Amino acid sequence: MKAIQPAQLDAWLEQAASETPAGSLPVVLDVREPWELQTASVKADGFELRHIPMRSVPERLSELDRDQPIACLCHHGMRSAQVANFLMNQGFTQIVNIHGGIHAWSQERDPGVPVY
């Protein structure tokens, strides 16, 4: 599984968008709990933002396209790494983990995102 830093997301999105069917955007899959989203969240810009808590991913797998580029996000990158590995084992082909999670996102991409 490939991991990228939040600062590398734009380059990954650009590459992923070139490999995505017209009218479709890469996905940032936020696997944090609902209370965490209320504490800190990102704005979709150049990607589709989806929220499926980690524990719900197996039962909601049909909501995701196996061929769509997906970058997994959580608080520090551990849960999202587990989800990324799970998705790859389920046949998803374009998966990355956002290393450092939303905490690193706040430090590297958007200081307006609260750190918790």
Residues involved in catalysis: 74
Spatial separation of the C-alpha atoms in residues 79 and 115, rounded to whole Å: 17
Structure tokens at 112: 């307006």
Nearest to 49 by CA among 75, 31, 67: 31
Q: Are 101 and 112 in contact (CB under 8 A)?
A: no
